[in-house]
Chain A
Amino acid sequence: ETGVTQTPRHLVMGMTNKKSLKCEQHLGHNAMYWYKQSAKKPLELMFVYNFKEQTENNSVPSRFSPECPNSSHLFLHLHTLQPEDSALYLCASSQARAEVDTIYFGEGSWLTVV
């Protein structure tokens, strides 16, 4: 148990569907992140939220839409995805504004787009 919970763990969706990934952290952290991990590729930072404000959008296509209603919750809304979007999506959190910071990951949501 890392203190970062992601649901669902597995999701299969068609290219015309709309779905959402949910993340909740119980660590009292102020920053939350979405990363994408595809086979044989490094972790790709997608979005960063710091104190509920988006501070990083790493040129992510608009078919991925993040939402951060508070410092403990983060969503990734998905619509009209492509098969190449199939990957492991990892949510993470960190304290932020610290001299030294460590990032804590959830177990990930496996997304398959058919």
Chain B
Amino acid sequence: SQKIEQNSEALNIQEGKTATLTCNYTNYSPAYLQWYRQDPGRGPVFLLLIRENEKEKRKERLKVTFDTTLKQSLFHITASQPADSATYLCALVRDNYGQNFVFGPGTRLSVLP
């Protein structure tokens, strides 16, 4: 069956360290994968997208990698800050027209001062 998993439900790290979140999927062949941030009681907000032919993508303190052989994406936040505390979701599309977005369960990141 098709599944998207994120390595842990919750992750606590110290301010200034690098947070690494993992997304694994099975029985999908996505052309691209996305990461979203969700704050409590609010809708998810798009952060980054990485295509299957890209190994790495960066945006400010964020970095995403995508390994289609391992069927895995890693999401890094460097020099983490308490304001980075949120739930982070990975998402991929089930079909070629990008209409059926499916989301992982999310990892709740807490950056401790």
Interface residues of A (CB under 8 A from B): 2, 4, 31, 33, 41-43, 45, 48, 50, 55-56, 88, 90, 92, 94-98, 100-108, 110
B98 contact set on A, CB distance < 8 A: 94-98, 100-101
What 8 pairs across the A-B complex have the smallest Cβ distances?
A101-B98, A105-B43, A43-B103, A42-B105, A103-B101, A102-B46, A90-B43, A105-B44
Show the binding face of B for A, using Cβ within 8 Å: 4, 31-32, 34, 41-46, 49, 51, 89, 91, 93, 97-106
Measured in the bound complex, the distance between the Cα atoms of B46 and A102 in whole Å is 7
B42 to A48, Cβ gap below 8 A? no
Are A100 and B41 within 8 A (Cβ)?
no
Q: Name B99's contact: one of A50, A90, A107 (CB within 8 Å).
A: A50
A104 and B46 contact, Cβ closer than 8 Å, known pairs A42-B103, A94-B98: yes
B44, A94: Cβ atoms under 8 Å?
A: no
**Do B43 and A41 touch (CB < 8 A)?**
no
Given contacts A41-B105, A43-B89, contact A105 B99 (CB under 8 A): no
Q: Find out whether the CB atom of A45 lies under 8 angstroms from the CB atom of B42.
A: no
In the complex, what residue of chain B is closest to A98 when comparing beta carbons? B98
